[in-house]
Amino acid sequence: TALVFLLKVLANLIAFLSPFPILLYILAPLIVSTQLLRELAVYAPSRTLLYAADAVYPAYVFFGVACITGALIGLSGRLTVLGVLYVL
């Protein structure tokens, strides 16, 4: 039946992959070292930058709004002075 066929295929696949744990056991120091280097070289700096960006974001928004407000007040002051000079 189909179930027996699928079980035989699965058994053959498991038999084919049975040396794989031995290979993993032999390569374990290399795998662990690679994971540690990846953690130190990629993930830790990435998490640090994301944490710093989250910490600085309120100041970024505050100073951005302050710059926009300052530009608008300066522009309105300049236009007011130009309007007064035009009238005079």
Summarised one tens digit per residue, pLDDT across range 23-35 is: 778 878 988 899 8
pLDDT in tens, 41-75: 988 999 999 999 999 999 999 999 999 999 999 99
Strands of 1-88, DSSP E: none
The pTM (predicted TM-score) of the whole model is 0.52
What gap in Å lies between CA 58 and CA 64, rounded to an integer? 10
How far is the C-alpha of 37 from the C-alpha of 34, rounded, in Å? 5
> What DSSP character marks residue 88?
-
